[in-house]
């Protein structure tokens, strides 16, 4: 899944670059003057990907840790569940599992952004 996310990110970037090059070629063929600053990529765009990846991974780790802590506390909730309505324990278990899944998904997306940063940085060096 991580490889697919990185592939999609790089594919979208390459597609955008190809569209920009096509626009430049068409403009040059028609004799239109081009402002080169419009078509240059910002140099810190990749740094934004690194920052976003670190933040997403950190938030995902916090959410998943919170879900695991709730999962560990849940047996004590089951002991007092005889005083609660019947569906409340099932709902609390669902919410705990959902919290863990959301945290893991955020960590994977953040890791994909960090991996995309590393791949693009290595590509730019060459």
Q: Which of 3-12, 25-34, 43-52, 104-113 has the highest mean pLDDT?
A: 104-113
Instruction: Give the integer Cα–Cα distance in Å for 119 and 125.
Output: 10
DSSP string over 34-87: --HHHHSPPTTHHHHHHHHHHHHHHHHHHHHHHHHHHHHHHHHHHHTGGGS-HH
Q: Average pLDDT of the chain?
A: 78
Question: pTM of the entire structure?
Answer: 0.58
Q: Which of 35, 41, 38 is nearest to 17 (CA)?
A: 41
* Count of domains forming the chain: 1
Q: Provide the domain limits for residue 10.
A: 2-125
């Amino acid at each position: 899944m991580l490889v697919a996310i990185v592939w999609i990110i790089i594919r979208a970037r390459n597609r955008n670059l190809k569209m920009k090059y096509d626009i430049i070629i068409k403009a040059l063929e028609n004799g239109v003057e081009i402002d080169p600053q419009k078509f240059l990529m910002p140099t810190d765009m990749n740094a934004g990907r690194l920052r976003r990846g670190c933040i997403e991974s950190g938030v995902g780790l916090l959410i998943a840790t919170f879900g695991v802590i709730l999962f560990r506390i849940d047996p004590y909730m089951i002991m007092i569940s005889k005083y609660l309505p019947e569906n409340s324990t099932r709902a609390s278990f669902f919410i705990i599992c959902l919290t863990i899944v959301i945290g893991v998904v955020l960590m994977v997306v953040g890791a994909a952004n960090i991996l995309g940063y590393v791949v693009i940085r290595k590509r730019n060096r060459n």
